[in-house]
Amino acid sequence: MTTTARDRMLLAKDAARTIGLLTDADKRDALRAIADAIEAAATDVVAANRQDLERGRAAGLSEGLQDRLRLDEPRVAALADAVRDVAELPDPVGRILDERTLPNGVALQKVSVPFGVVGSIYEARPNVTVDIAALALRSGNTVVLRGGTAAELTNAALVEAMRGALAQRGLDPEAIQTVDEFGREGARELMSARGIVDVLVPRGSAQLIETVVTQSSVPVIETGAGVVHIVLDATAPLAWARDIVVNAKVQRPSVCNAVETVLVHRDAADRLVSPVVAALQAQGVTVHGDAIVSRLADGVVPATDDDWATEYMSLDLAMRVVDDLDDALDHIRRYSTHHTESIITEDAANAERFLAEVDSAVVMANASTRFTDGGEFGFGAEVGISTQKLHARGPMGLAELTSTKWLARGAGQVRA
């Protein structure tokens, strides 16, 4: 009987040997079986979820978190459909990324291979349990999950269904592991499992990600917060400025690619501030402005220094007038979380300068920051949006869940 989090991780590592060698067709079949099994287990999953919710309510879990946690039959069906979508994506493993023949005839190939074991630490969203497991398996990896304690029974029911589907197809069920029942100790073990777990993907609050990044000796892919900026340059057309800022704030305020701060060029302030603020307010947005913004538009809340560093994730937006593009770039350098920034301008030179100088995962000219998204980029699925520079930056697709390996085929060559 498996008794420790470490035992579970070693089982995942062992299973990675066979999962990593599966064919494209095998992996697709496995995911389709998992999707079917999740649907078949819907009653059990919803029942487990009801227990989690009751426990959560008793413990004073907020309405918002309860909603994230809640699964009903249609939501379970949506989870299964998402797995079927992942099954249809092209296999990221076995791509030949480089090929060269050495002067002595040794043939080299750089090919994409699975990482091996992918770990994930996340909060009480049961959909992550299924998403990460499906993405990991599609890319030939096994997975060790540590979800929030609030979703423990729901996650256990989902994991049981997925493991059952693997076993039914003759695949190693140990490919999907959870360390939820080991609580915080499970998370600690996962963060110190260097040599067993190949990469750790935290998903959740800035605080959770910060904890994992600073405590983990397993390499981490950081999917960070977005203090996202839009710069309205001197030549920004009003229609673009208004439509893009409203879209970037209002369409889905709670996500990391939503804009938080708008910087307006001094020469455009008289022309743009009042109508852009009015358009935002018409959609229910509270604008936190500096002194000039407050003078140019009605109903603006005075901004404090904290506003510039805040990822509101709500219908709030900070707005400041800057002297020029240099001033805007300075502000971004100081406050950006290096996720996404956009400039609205008709000045091509300023657009190119902005694209070159801003040090963020995605830098845009004349487009909504909401486009920073694996689905929008055409990746078919999104593992997360990386705000680090190592390995992956920006929206991550299945390819970012693979590593590489060099293969060398010779005929007895030795080094001179």
Query: Would you call 32 helix, strand, or coil by DSSP?
Result: helix
Site of tokens 């009015």: 278
| Residue from the set 363, 381, 383, 396 that interacts with a second copy by CB under 8 A | 363
| Residue from the set 40, 61, 213, 313 that interacts with a second copy by CB under 8 A | 213
Query: How many angstroms separate the CA atoms of 264 and 14, rounded?
Result: 56
| Residue from the set 120, 247, 261, 310 that interacts with a second copy by CB under 8 A | 247
DSSP assignment of 44-87 equals HHHHHHHHHHHHHHHTT--HHHHHHH---HHHHHHHHHHHHHHH
Whole-Å CA distances, 233 to 8, 237, 263, 292, 345: 54, 9, 8, 16, 5
Choices 38-46, 64-72, 165-173, 402-410 (CB under 8 A): range interacting with a second copy: 402-410
Q: Note whether 13 and 142 are within 8 A (CB).
A: yes
Is 102 an interacting residue with respect to a second copy (CB under 8 A)?
Answer: yes
Looking only at the bridges linking them, the beta strands covering 96-101 and 107-114 are antiparallel
| Residue from the set 175, 221, 228, 285 that interacts with a second copy by CB under 8 A | 221
Question: Residue 351's CB: how many other CB atoms inside 10 A?
Answer: 19
Query: How many angstroms separate the CA atoms of 340 and 358, rounded?
Result: 9
Is 251 an interacting residue with respect to a second copy (CB under 8 A)?
Answer: yes
Element (H, E) at 378: none
Q: Given the complex with a second copy, which of 177 and 247 has the nearer CB atom?
A: 247
Q: List Cβ neighbours of 106 (8 Å cut-off, separation of 6 or more).
A: 408, 409, 410, 413
* Minimum CB distance to a second copy, residue 54 (Å): 37
| Residue from the set 217, 254, 283, 304 that interacts with a second copy by CB under 8 A | 217
Size of the site for a second copy (CB under 8 A): 70
Q: Given the complex with a second copy, which of 294 and 342 has the nearer CB atom?
A: 342
Looking only at the bridges linking them, the beta strands covering 394-396 and 384-386 are antiparallel
Site string for a second copy, 131-170 (x = CB under 8 A): ----------------------------------------
Is 27 an interacting residue with respect to a second copy (CB under 8 A)?
Answer: no
Q: Given the complex with a second copy, which of 135 and 362 has the nearer CB atom?
A: 362
DSSP assignment of 7-40 equals HHHHHHHHHHHHHTT--HHHHHHHHHHHHHHHHH
Is 211 an interacting residue with respect to a second copy (CB under 8 A)?
Answer: no
Is 409 an interacting residue with respect to a second copy (CB under 8 A)?
Answer: yes
Is 99 an interacting residue with respect to a second copy (CB under 8 A)?
Answer: no
Query: Would you call 114 helix, strand, or coil by DSSP?
Result: strand
Site string for a second copy, 329-358 (x = CB under 8 A): ----x--------x--------x---xxx-
Within 287-326, which residues bind a second copy (CB under 8 A)?
Answer: none
Residue 219 Cα to chain centre, angstroms: 16
Residues that bind a second copy in the complex, under the rule CB under 8 A: 17, 21, 100, 102, 106, 108, 110, 113, 115-116, 194, 198-199, 213-214, 217, 219-221, 237, 239-240, 243-244, 246-248, 251, 333, 342, 351, 355-357, 359-368, 370-372, 376-378, 388-391, 393-395, 403-415
